Amino acid sequence: MTKPKLAVYWAASCGGCDIAILDIEEKILAVADFFDLAFWPCVADFKYKDVAALDDGAITLTLFNGAIRNDENFAIAELLRRKSVVLCAFGSCASDGGIPGMANFYERQTIFDYVYGKSPSTVNPDKVYPQPLTKVPEGEIYIPAMWDTVWTLPQVVDVDYVIPGCPPQSDQIAAVVGAVIDILKNGKPLPPKGTVLGATDKSCCDECLRQRDVKKIKKFVRPFEIIPDPDLCLMEQGILCVGPATRGGCGAKCVAAGMPCRGCYGLPANIRDQGAKMVSALASVIDSTDPEEIGRIMAAIPDPLGTFYRFTLADSLLRRAQV
């Protein structure tokens, strides 16, 4: 009997998701035992043409991490969609745009100008920018063209499930993989399409053990400015924590360690725009009625867009800055 095929791919991502899969420790052996690895550029040398040669639907499960921001990302996403029975957006880049999604605050040209021109570590007097096509004596070299806008995987192809997180926590990955193996082995029905796997429906606060009270914020501080009370809600101490507007499932590990939630598990089940929700919530708990004082309090938040839309800009109602 042939084993079911597993594919893992990285598009616009850092590679952390791949590491997270390997981080499930000895359970990876059960994965290797149960699945036949069809494609996983991070750990083994596969060629795109090998995947293209497979029959449509030949891959049982694909874990796709990374956002879609160039021709290659898009082409492979479409390819894997065709070849897979189940396609999972794995990690916040694939599901919500993630950190690469913040590129949507700018357009491609601005990013190029900075990265290949103005950045302090760059010397590029001839203004050499990447070109999709380069002529060399041997012929033409093609590198994938970068897009103006970063897209999430569900925005470009049909996705069956989403596993959020930056990266998804290894215990959650182990649980999901274990469940998949169980389903396939014992012929159980799949969860409904669109289900968010490896996470809860509630927000990060649900898992946070810190004590909470009615919130009144007089001043925002950054984590390095104070030694936070270990038992008290960080937001009540003035530290901007995005936990209330972030899906739970991570186990609230950051907040337990005294660092505010950055929002990597994306938006909870019932909302459409994480950043807007967080702004709306914060605006409600500022403890002042004086517009000038409110202005001063809000001005203490560095990089508000990057804070509220750190992981979900590409998937938000804004999607991108209009330039």
Partner 1 sequence: MVKVTIDGLEIEVEEETTILKAARQLGITIPALCYNELIEPYAVCRLCVVELQRGQRTRLVTACNYPLRESVVIRTNSERVQRLRRMNIELLMARAPGAKIIQDLAAEMGIERTRFPLEDSDEKCILCGLCVQACSDVVQAYALGFSERGSKRVIGPPYDTTPETCILCGACAYFCPTGHIKMTDTDGRILHSELTLGPNAAITLPFRQAIPNVPRVNPDYCIHMKTGGCELCVKVCQKEAINFTELAQDSFEEFEVGAVIMATGFQDFDPTPMKLYGYGVLPNVLTSDEFERMNNAASPTGGRIVMENGEEPRSIAILHCIGSRDEHYHKYCSRVCCMYELNFAHLVNVKTSAEVYQLYIDMRSFGKGYEEFYQRILDEGVNVIRGKGAEVVPAYQKRRGEGGLLVCCEDTLIGKYREIPVDMVVLCTALEARADAAEIGRKFNISTGADGWFIEAHPKLAPVSTTTEGIFLAGVCQGAKDIPDSVAQGAAAAAQVMKMFCQGELLMDGAYAEIVEDICSGCRICNGLCPYNAITYDIEKKVSAVNPAMCKACGTCVAACPSGAITGRHFTDEQIYAQIEGILA
Applying CB under 8 A, which residues contact partner 1? 201-206, 212-216, 233, 235, 243-245, 248, 268-272, 277-278, 280-281, 283-285
| 3-state class (DSSP) for residue 98 | helix
Please report how close the Cβ of residue 123 comes to partner 1 at its closest, in angstroms: 45
Q: How far is the CB of 151 from partner 1 (least distance, A)?
A: 21
Dist CA 20 CA 45 (whole Å): 19
Residue with tokens 């874990």: 63
CB closer to partner 1, 19 vs 269: 269
Q: How far is the CB of 285 from partner 1 (least distance, A)?
A: 6
Q: From 157, 159, 164, select the one nearest 20 (Cα to Cα).
A: 164
Least distance in Å: CB of 243 to partner 1?
7
- Report the distance separating Cα 44 and Cα 224, nearest Å: 41
- 119-149 burial, b at 16+ Cβ within 10 Å, e below that, comes to eeeeeeeeeeeeeeeeeeeeeeeeeeebbeb
Q: State which residue, 16 or 248, has the beta carbon closest to partner 1.
A: 248
SS3 1: coil
In Å, how far are 134, 140, 141 from 137, measured between CA atoms?
10, 8, 10
Sheet holding 59-65, edge to edge: 36-39, 5-10, 59-65, 84-90, 161-163
Q: How far is the CB of 283 from partner 1 (least distance, A)?
A: 8
Rounded to whole angstroms, the Cα distance separating 38 from 4 reads: 9
Residues 276, 242: contact at Cβ < 8 Å?
A: no
Least distance to partner 1, CB of residue 260, Å: 13
From residue 119, alpha-carbon distances to 122, 131, 180 in Å are 5, 19, 45
- Taken in order 71, 53, 79, 30, the sign of the CA dihedral is negative
Decide whether 108 or 202 has the Cβ nearer to partner 1.
202
At closest approach, how far in Å is the CB of 9 from partner 1?
A: 31
